[in-house]
Amino acid sequence: MDEEPDSEALVQWEIITLPPGIDWSGRARYGAAMYFYARGDMDAPTLEVYRYLARLDAEAPADVLRRYRIGGNWLEKLARHGG
């Protein structure tokens, strides 16, 4: 999301920033994470955190990334773009 986002990127951004606790939100966030990984916006360890949390709707991926000191660049993007 560093360059001007296209409409698909905007949709995926809305999905990846879904708040914790919504049914199926973990799976939806993981799907969006795969999109950003394929675009080169996310590294493999960060994608793995989203994969692990896919079945844990109540967990906030950003909290887990911070806890384990993974995905610093992704966390910066989340902070910069309101995620």
Q: What is the pLDDT of residues 17-68, one digit of tens each?
A: 999 999 999 999 999 999 999 999 999 999 999 999 999 999 999 999 999 9
Residue 81: its pLDDT value, please? 86
Whether residue 74 is predicted with pLDDT greater than 90 in this model: the reply is yes
Q: Name the one residue in this structure whose structure tokens are 């989203």.
A: 50
Whether residue 1 is predicted with pLDDT greater than 70 in this model: the reply is no
Residue 11: its pLDDT value, please? 97
Q: What is the average pLDDT across 6-24?
A: 96
∠ CA 6-11-12, rounded to 5° = 95
- Structural domain spans, the chain: 7-80
Q: What is the average pLDDT across 1-8?
A: 72
Residue 69: its pLDDT value, please? 98
Q: Who's near 21: CB < 8 A, 6+ residues apart?
A: 57, 58
Residues recorded for the chain? 83
